Structure 1
Amino acid sequence: MMLWKQKLHRNLLLEDENGRKLLARTVFALAIKYLKEDLWVVSNDRIANAVLQNEIHWVLTVPAIWNNAAKQFMREAAEEAGIESDMLTIALEPEAASLFCRHLPVEKSGNQFSLASLRTGSQYLVLDAGGGTIDITVHEVTESGGVKELYKASGGAWGGTKVDASFEEFLVCLTDKSVVKKFKQDNLDDYIELLRRFEVKKREIDPDKDTKVVMSIPLAFFTTVKKRLHKDLNKAVKKSFYSNSVSLSGDKLKIDPAVAQSFFKESVDNTIEHVKDILQKRENRGVEAILMVGGFSESKMLSKAFKRTFPTLKMILPDEAGLAVLKGAVIFGHEPREIVERISKYTYGIAMDPYFDSRMHPKSAKFTDNAGVDKCKNFFDKHVIAGQSLRVGEAQSEQTYATTPSHKSTVHIEVFATESKSPVLVTDPGCRKVGQCTIPMAGTGAGRKVLVNMIFGGTEFDVECTEIATGKVSHITIDFLL
């Protein structure tokens, strides 16, 4: 979640629960390396010498709401973990889940209604509820049986960990902020074990049941309360805000159902409101079903809230919804072209200084170059507009750029993005630089031309550059981690 909604760079630091810092890329790389090596050990145990390491193509899944910098960060972490770049595909989690459920036989979907039964042109909303994020996209079934994105991915940090945060806040209300902080600092293993126990209970909490939630509390928590508050946990509970709805029996904490259900309120309310807003958009009015995937979708608090709120829509909740992304990622690795269209989240363009045109350029951007020619400084040369449908694997734009006297042997390109559909200058409010690249040119001299095709449809950027004089084609990766 640290990769979401913040300025990313290669030296980003992560803090652990106790405030110690380490390079984020190192943390991600070590996690990926562990999974990579574990797969290798298990596969060799089961089918020794049948698979070579260089034969494995890896698929790394990321939330659809992540930006290009976050995807690039994950790719570089995977490369640091020993995965070759050309043997790695980045997949968007809701798309992977959607592919899996499209391949799921009707009789195995766990529902009377399944994605496999949807006809061409049918529209459905994918709700990928994971631990950190909740990703929401709208898909349509194509004639070929593939999937195209109908509405750009959106969502927020309302996943299962938001419920965990509410539970931790509940512990603070029972005791004190200093107690929970000290418990976490001195007994991290016990703290993690407590969250694991809560994770099990979390899946059992049901809005239609009035049974109490009973959880055993680690001994270290009792000790911490005694040391910090100079009274036992039982007395602390009785004097807390929850004195009438929570009780302690031995090491068991008994929580009234209404209190347990309240842990889900912020997450469920935010998710439902966001889905309501999406379904009201003109382009989404044909949605006839909601596909719920991701581990948090298995929560009855979330799934039943959706059934009550959207009674006219068909609900699809596959068996083992938490594995839908994983299994779909395998399908995506074999058949990436089953996702045929995506929607651009932003308007993308390149900064340039064209000849000044008073009909389209603001006077404030006018300047005269060394040759005495009037030009427009920092013009936003659009390649793709926000909301535009992008065909996967096809160039969405084609522009010609030329070397300048100061860059005779290279063409330097700076890529900008904005949510606005009609930016004029790259300095307009909301515009930000998202990447840059330098294109080497054969020979020297100003005015040498290069044709630039930006291919946006894939999960990652591809820039194809053709030097017009020589016909030489090169693919350049945009660097989003500036």
Structure 2
Amino acid sequence: MAGNSLLVAAIDFGTTYSGWAFSFKHEFERDATKVSAKNWSGGQLVSLKGPTCALIKSDKQTLDSFGYEAESKYADLATDGEHEPWFFFKRFKMKLFGQGFGRNLMLEDASGKKLLAKTVFSLCIKYLKDDLIKLSESRIAGGGLRDEDIHWVLTVPAIWNDAAKQFMREAAQEAGILEDKLTIALEPEAASLYCRHLPVEKCGSDKTSLSKFGSGKRYLVLDAGGGTVDITVHEVMSGGNLKELDKASGGAWGGVQVDDAFFQFLSEIQVCSLVMTKFKDMHMEDYIDLFRDFEVKKREIGPKKDTKVTFRMRTALADLVKDMRNETLQETIKKTKYSNQVKLVGDKLRVDPAVVKGFFEPSVNSIVKHVKGLLREITNSGVEAVLMVGGFSESPMLQESVRNNFPGLRIIVPDEAGLAVLKGAVIFGHSPATISQRVSKYTYGTDIAEDFDQTKHAISRMSIASDGSQRCTNVFSKLAEAGQTLVVGEPQDEKTYTTLLEDQTAMGMNIYASTYKNPGFIDDVGCQKIDTFSVPVSGRGKGRAVTVKTIFGGTEIDVECKEVATGNITHLKVDFLS
């Protein structure tokens, strides 16, 4: 952890937007919320983070530009027909959500060319790292920073699986961040920490501060970003530490869904989805500008909006409709279900507010439905507030829907909700012990063989060991259970495993994860093999014992194996990537 590092630096690598922030140790000690972050700008759009876009040269290993600059340069290259050798990636983080993958995962760029995902992620992290160092060093009189002076914190969604978290750690190390100078922080936890330090006047219009929540108080953290929505429930413990009550949950309901709905709307008013596809391919600069304009509008739309919303229609798009449909855009609109709700006046597309509000419905409804389900669970009883953080939480549409659906709860939306994760990650780097208990998302275990018992084992499970005894193999031996509270840094109950053979020199140990609480066997539905260890054992004879303690509760898993006869201890890191 950060220890006595001079500087704690955090990188928030988001689906749609990314950014960095930092604070020096002396700043944190005076005011934990005094965190420096970068302002990004692209055209008329100024944001607290920059778009997660990477432009990589044809050598497949050199990052040319990132963020707004990458977007604009790729658009210029495409306009001049010079983009083909380049690799342009946008919104690629979602590839790590909800799927099995390994170190050889490939990403497709905007034109379908493939590149190793680890390369793309590490180049982006390196850019953000170098950019941060450049600014932070300008604040130090007479010298730069050494690697050992900086502790890095990289944020990841809490709903990600263990493989995705490990992937990000390895990408960060490939970007030049030292392994012992890197901490992985869960996004809703980081945001929660930041808001625990905020005074009332910075907690939005509700003027409710989490800093006033004493021991035993419970609140739900709704971290709504561009891609994923991450939801956890926290309880304040004595001393101000936080305890996770329920395992993190959520889904792909972020602000990107609103953008997708806008894209679908544009396709529908042209009565042909091919027009938008061709517009994107042939007029990349106009396409990017159109969606940058929409981003500005998206942040302004609220439930009380009762006047038409105006979008500036690009000439190139109107011309494409004429070429491909042999009629004007105005004529195609009249043939759609939007004929009475959308009008083209010159180069202005005038849209009824009800249509634009409808863009938000799929994501907002999914979020509200999920939160309602969580609050009905006994585990989460007594929740008094909802803390809304993440860029999408700044949307008036989402805020109003949450307020209307949960009238009995206090709704807290801090100023600059989109930076809460980033600034909280810096605080977490300085003071990691603040999160003291987490809830296991999976049941973890290993496979063992035990004496065959026909009263509990199916006959098909019986096998004959080399000594002639009847055995039942592939039995799931639990190390931790889904939903179990795990104290950070403390080992779980000790399990003992013994050798089966006289001349055994090592004990093979497989680690499995299951989505079910009580799997019986490692080949049950929902079980997945994660990693294989080899634990050395000395001496000869059957029954030599090794005790296993699994240390969960952090953002990664450590397995401690102790040979009983000798006291030799082996520490094993679980490798979730194949």
Secondary structure of the residue aligned to 2:96 is coil
Aligned to 2:124: 31
Alpha-carbon distance change, 279 to 270 in structure 1, aligned in 2, over 3 angstroms: same
Deviation (angstroms), 1:41 = 1.6
SS in structure 2 opposite 1:396?
coil
1:137 paired residue number: 232
Cα distance change on mapping 1:445 and 1:56 into 2, 3 Å: farther
Question: 1: distance between equivalents of 2:321 and 2:126?
Answer: 39
Paired residue secondary structure (2:176): coil
Partner of 2:317: 221
Which segment drifts farther, 312-321 or 470-479?
Answer: 470-479
Question: Contact 1:18 / 1:184 at 8 angstroms: preserved in 2?
Answer: no
Aligned residue in 2 for 1:21: 114
Query: What's the CA shift for 1:8?
Result: 1.3
Give the superposition deviation at 1:222: 2.6
Task: Assess, with a 3 A threshold, how the Cα gap between structure 1 residues 223 and 424 changes in structure 2: closer, same or farther.
Answer: same
Query: 1:254 Cα deviation (Å)?
Result: 1.6
- 139-148 or 207-216: bigger deviation: 207-216
Question: How many Å separate the matches in 2 of 1:18 and 1:135?
Answer: 31
Tell me the CA shift for residue 68 of structure 1: 0.4
What's the CA shift for 1:466?
2.1
Output one character per residue of 1:433-467: Cα deviation in whole Å (capped at 9) or x when no partner.
12332334467776543322111110111112223
Q: How does 1:63-462 map to 2 (within 5 A)?
A: 63-110=157-204, 111-175=206-270, 176-403=272-499, 405=501, 408-441=504-537, 447-462=543-558
Mean Cα deviation higher: 369-378 or 132-141: 369-378
Among all aligned residue pairs of Structure 1 and Structure 2, give the percentage whose two residues are the same amino acid. 55
Aligned amino acid, residue 58 of structure 1: W
Structure 2 counterpart SS, 1:2: helix
2:522 aligns to what SS in structure 1? coil
Counterpart CA distance in 2 for 1:157 and 1:336 is: 28
Partner amino acid for 2:230? D
Unaligned runs of 5+ in 2: 1-93
The RMSD of aligned alpha carbons is: 1.9
Any conservation in 1 of the 2:502–2:541 contact (CA below 8 Å)? no
Alpha-carbon distance change, 78 to 256 in structure 1, aligned in 2, over 3 angstroms: same
Q: Which residue of 2 aligns with 1:475?
A: 571
Contact 2:389 2:414 in 1 (8 A): yes
Q: TM-score, normalised by structure 2?
A: 0.80
One-letter amino acid of the structure 2 residue matched with residue 33 of structure 1: K
Partners of 2:246 and 2:503 in 1: how far apart?
40
Q: Tell me if the contact between 2:163 and 2:577 (Cα under 8 Å) persists in the aligned partners.
A: yes
Q: 1:285 to 1:452 in 2, by over 3 A?
A: same
Counterpart CA distance in 1 for 2:350 and 2:320 is 20
**1:359 Cα offset (Å):** 4.7
Amino acid at match of 1:119: G
Alpha carbons of structure 1 residues 161 and 244: separation in structure 2 relative to 1, 3 Å: same
- Secondary structure of the residue that 2:494 maps to in structure 1? strand
1:192 and 1:410, CA in 2 relative to 1: closer, same or farther beyond 3 A? Answer: farther
Q: Residues 141 and 226 from structure 1, CA distance in 2 versus in 1: closer, same or farther, beyond 3 angstroms?
A: same
Structure-1 separation of matches of 2:308 and 2:109:
33
Moved more, 60-69 or 467-476: 467-476
The two structures have a TM-score, normalised by structure 1, of: 0.95
Q: Does the 8 Å contact 1:409/1:445 carry over to 2?
A: no
